[in-house]
Every structure is written in structure tokens, then in C-alpha cells.
Amino acid sequence: MISSPSIFAAAALDPANGRLRGFVLSRLAADEAEILTIAVEPDSQGRGVGRALLAESLRQAANARAAAVFLEVDEDNAAALALYKRLGFEKVGERRGYYRRADGARATAVIMRKALG
């Protein structure tokens, strides 16, 4: 997947020791990009790492001439939802029962979109 020309990614490394603090993986399809996953280690959460990774992914999508970027997020992930809204994403749909929790319960995915350019 990573070797595909339609995939783009970014990583956040700790400047002191080079340790991975987070990453984002996205793909381009026609004139749309999708953020497949974004992850930030727990010790780095709330310190701007996710925002920087997301901004880099948006920059890469714009450079690839994507007209919009989509992502999905668990409806209960308040921190991620707040970040995405601050960066201009808007809710455009839901996928009920999309995520399976450790206890077997199902959670809704919120589909969000941001127009570029």
C-alpha cells in the first residue's frame, strides 16, 4: 500500500531522540483524498502533533490537486472531532455500527469533509 503512487503519508518524530510520535496515512482517488488513519502516541496527544500531521496531509492533498479531503472518526472521539472542526472539516454523514468496541458494542463513524482551494 505504501508504495502506491496514490498513497501519501507523514510522520512526526521526536526531535530529541528521533522516536516516532505519530503518523498519518492518506490516499488520493481522482480529485478526492481520504485520510485513512492518523495516530498520535498518548504522551504526545494534546501537544499539536495531530494538528501538524493533519495540516501536512492537507498540504499534500492540495499539492496533488485534490478538491476535497474526507475522513471518518468515532462519534465519541471528542478531541479528534474538535480538531477536525477547527481545521474546517464538516460532518457530511454517518455510518452507524461502523466501529466495533472491545466489549463488542458498535459505534457510529462520523464522515467529515473539507473542501480545498
Give 3-state DSSP helix, strand, coil % of the chain, rounded to 5: 25, 45, 30
For residue 1, what pLDDT is reported? Answer: 67
pLDDT for 12-27, tens place per residue?
999 899 999 999 999 9
- Whether 72 sits among the annotated catalytic residues: the reply is yes
Q: Which of 84, 90, 98, 99 is catalytic?
A: 84
Share of the chain above pLDDT 70, in %: 98
CA quadruple 73, 75, 80, 86: dihedral, nearest 10? 100
CA gap 106, 88 in Å, rounded: 27
- Whether 99 sits among the annotated catalytic residues: the reply is no
Q: Provide the whole-model pTM.
A: 0.89
Is residue 2 over pLDDT 70?
A: no
Q: Which of 41, 72, 75, 98 is catalytic?
A: 72
Kind and range of the H or E element at 71? strand 68-74
67, 28 Cβ separation under 8 angstroms: no
Is residue 55 over pLDDT 90?
A: yes
pLDDT for 72-99, tens place per residue?
999 999 999 999 999 999 999 999 999 9
CA gap 47, 41 in Å, rounded: 11
Domains of the chain: 7-115 (3.40.630.30)
